[in-house]
A and B are shown apart, each in its own frame.
Chain A
């Protein structure tokens, strides 16, 4: 087999893995948008905040130590204990639930029935706020996140492909585990929304707020629930991205990676988020590999957007979005 083809194969595989991570972030967007019509720009910052909190809890950092030190002249840093990863994840999930409740109670309850753009701006405000709080609580230095996921090149794939094609594919173990986790997460979400009472209520709210309200579903509860789930999805995304490239500010920019995925897949479709993520992941890696060298590289920043844009011009509701019916 020609070498170029094998390289392309490897690029596609890695693109698929990256796509899974994009899809994870996009999933959080879709959940909130479907249930409450809020286009939650803060999703990326939520992932950052969750990852920061997770690292902070695991290392036993004292929250707000920086500001306490500056105000009282103390020298606080750590509690001096280490929390096992699983417990820390559960605790962080708890923090995200509290966060969801606060957001619902103090922000979006007051903004019910506002125009979508206002809600969107509120989430940008929330993103700024949360970013500041995260940095203030846990410090803004780059942190290493290690929850015990396997890392580094997958030997088995390397050896097998080398024997088969004469060229070993480089695939990160972390990407494989991210894919597995994502599959489980999506399966869990589908089971939750199809077979549980709350899940059905959630789908009812997504379909029609007022009808759901009239049959006795508590909108407040559902919105807190959906923000909690989005917070949990953000936590998973934060763990995956954080383990890959360290917990730092740039983590919040993955929100920007997820937006073209949403455009492609439609804002309201969970399968769309996943398929869109895969298409974008493969597309941008392949474009960078094939066309990138000709135009000076670093095309990953914009290619996804342009791809999504071109696609939307032909299909304005996205891949799986609900058909847009306009009436006067």
Chain B
């Protein structure tokens, strides 16, 4: 009834090739944007920003990045944590070296640095495939974390070995450091996640996205029909690195404020983002958001239930949280291996025929 192509006439080529060709999708998209930009910033407080919205938006950016690599190009990566660290350290060096430049420039620059690093670590993918590659990306994970720990230049020779983000602003509004308002944190993350989603969505619809998907589905066959596997794989690594770098930069500068590389960007982060991508749905931008929302909300929800409602001690709640999230992941994979995005797709198919399914 609501969701259908019928009656939605396209009279020009741009209309035909727009991002959301179906009217319902398009209005939903505008509605989400309007709520995100015009409603939430006025109601957000510190708790909601720090516990839910900011981590959700940042992880969504990282998940989009990983989804491009794993979901669209089929290269499993377990180095996301370290790649986020590259973004974090790059933005830290930039912030301290050029204090007067806006964060809106620093963060994409950090993304570019990360893109370069990730492309270098993507080189083995030309020879190594599947799980061997997944384990090989762990080399990046451990090596980079070690490097950021051992070379004092990266953390500006600070005594603690930590990096902490100084106060920086965008158009006079403070966005990093301890004096940031909740809405400012939220807005800067929102701007970047919107851009990331828009770019990712359009890249994956275009020729480069088709090349990635051809490589994912069968790389030899793709090579035979004229896809250059080196270019396709390396661009996937670089683009994915760009988004992951942005996520890492925001994660450190806006969300954490101070970071120690082993703790904030360890292998747990890699798995967390991979979970988001799998639970959300491989090869779906919407899935990246859904997965990030799920994995960010789950611990908050469980903590509220176990500690807040049942009054159990926190260490017990932490163990139970492990059990529940591990169990839920398994249940999810069994019931819907294609993730939340698939549920959404099924729902749309049903909507298309509703209320007369025959």
Contact = CB atoms under 8 A, between A and B. Distances in A.
Given A121-B275, A140-B315, A313-B127, A260 B135 contact: yes
A302 B326 contact: no
Contacts of A2: none
Contacts of A327: 220
Given A132-B322, A140-B315, A263-B132, A122 B330 contact: yes
B316 A67 contact: yes
B320 A309 contact: no
A301 B313 contact: no
A130 interface: yes
Interface stretch (B84-92, B93-101, B138-146, B346-354): B138-146
Contacts of B323: 128-129, 132-133, 136
Contact of A309 (B136, B220, B312, B327): B136
A117 B271 CA distance: 13
B128 interface: yes
Nearest to A133: B323
A288 B221 CA distance: 43
B308 interface: no
Given A125-B326, A125-B329, A135 B132 contact: no
B151 to A, nearest CB: 8
A263 B134 CA distance: 10
B333 A122 contact: yes
A308 B275 CA distance: 26
Contact of A306 (B132, B139, B145): B139
A111 B333 contact: yes
Interface in A275-328: 295-299, 301-302, 305-306, 308-309, 312-313, 316, 318, 324, 326-328
Contacts of A114: 333, 337
A66, A120, A259, A302: residue with the most chain B Cβ atoms closer than 10 Å: A302
B334 interface: yes
A212 interface: no
Interface residues of B, number: 50
Given A120-B131, A308-B136, A313-B127, A129 B146 contact: no
Nearest to A307: B139
Given A259-B138, A263-B135, A313 B128 contact: yes
Interface in B295-350: 312-313, 315-316, 319-330, 333-334, 337
B124 interface: yes
B150 A263 contact: no
Contact of A129 (B134, B149, B330, B334): B330
B127 A131 contact: no
Contact of A118 (B139, B278, B319): B278
Interface string B37-78: 000000000000000000000000000000000100000100
Nearest to B333: A122
A115, A117, A262, A326: residue with the most chain B Cβ atoms closer than 10 Å: A117
Contacts of B278: 117-118, 121
A1 B313 CA distance: 60
B76 A132 contact: no
A127 interface: yes
Contacts of A299: 146
A223 interface: no
A37 B321 CA distance: 29
A217 interface: no
Nearest to B223: A328
A135 B135 CA distance: 27
B205 interface: no
Contacts of A318: 132
B136 A305 contact: yes
A107 B136 contact: no
B218 interface: yes
A116 B337 CA distance: 11
A136 B323 CA distance: 9
Nearest to B271: A124
A312 B329 contact: no
B303 to A, nearest CB: 14
Contact of A128 (B149, B218, B315, B326): B326
A290 to B, nearest CB: 17
B28 interface: no
B248 to A, nearest CB: 19
A318 B321 CA distance: 38
B132 A316 contact: yes
Contacts of A262: 135
A125 B333 contact: yes
Contact of B320 (A117, A125, A136, A263): A136
26 contacts: A70-B316, A111-B333, A115-B337, A117-B76, A121-B333, A122-B329, A124-B271, A125-B325, A126-B330, A129-B330, A131-B326, A132-B320, A132-B323, A133-B323, A260-B135, A260-B139, A263-B132, A263-B135, A297-B150, A302-B146, A306-B139, A308-B135, A308-B139, A312-B124, A312-B128, A328-B220
Given A39-B131, A305-B135, 15 more contacts: A67-B316, A111-B334, A116-B131, A117-B70, A118-B337, A128-B323, A136-B323, A259-B138, A301-B145, A308-B136, A309-B124, A312-B132, A312-B136, A327-B220, A328-B224
Interface of B: 70, 76, 124, 127-132, 134-136, 138-139, 142-143, 145-146, 149-151, 218, 220-221, 224, 267, 271, 274-275, 278, 282, 312-313, 315-316, 319-330, 333-334, 337
A-B pairs, 10 with minimum CB distance: A132-B322, A128-B326, A129-B326, A125-B329, A305-B139, A132-B323, A302-B142, A296-B150, A302-B143, A125-B330
